[in-house]
């Protein structure tokens, strides 16, 4: 059998963009979401809405907490690097926004005591 036709098991220990804890699941999810968004011919608000749904699907499919580092890893995924459609580019934009850490709001602390 030619070497190119042999099944090669995935190497989960090698560094790979977007692999992280979720392994191939994250890689497959990114590829599937971005392929779907690339097939879309939507523009403007409709493209951003589709991208938001894709971002939420990506975030909920992740194993563990989605941190800014997880978003940075996803941005390094080959499919994210070559995003072309408006929806795929908007998805990449949401990933970029997710790389920024925001401090937790402290305004709600003690609210229940003030109400009761």
Q: Which of 4, 40, 10 is nearest to 28 (CA)?
A: 10
Q: How far apart, in Å, are the Cα atoms of 90 and each of 3, 8, 72, 86?
A: 40, 34, 15, 6
Residue 94, burial from CB neighbour count under 10 angstroms (0-12, 13-18, 19+): middle
Tens of pLDDT, residue by residue, the chain (116 residues): 444 434 333 333 334 444 444 456 678 899 999 999 999 999 999 999 999 999 999 999 988 899 999 999 999 999 999 999 999 999 999 999 999 977 766 666 555 555 65
Q: How far apart are CA 92 and CA 112, in angstroms?
A: 39
pLDDT at 27: 81
pLDDT at 108: 60
Q: How far apart are CA 45 and CA 24, in angstroms?
A: 31
pLDDT at 102: 76
pTM: 0.69
């Amino acid at each position: 059998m030619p070497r190119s036709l042999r099944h090669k098991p995935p190497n989960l220990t090698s560094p790979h963009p977007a692999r992280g804890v979720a392994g191939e699941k994250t890689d497959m999810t990114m590829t599937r979401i971005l392929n779907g968004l690339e097939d879309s011919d939507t523009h403007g608000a409709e493209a951003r809405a589709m991208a938001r749904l894709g971002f939420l699907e990506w975030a909920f499919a992740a194993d563990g907490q989605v941190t800014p580092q997880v978003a940075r890893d996803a941005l390094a995924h080959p499919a994210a690097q070559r995003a072309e459609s408006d929806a795929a580019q908007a998805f990449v934009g949401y990933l970029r926004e997710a790389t920024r850490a925001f401090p937790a709001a402290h305004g709600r602390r003690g609210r229940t005591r003030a109400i009761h």
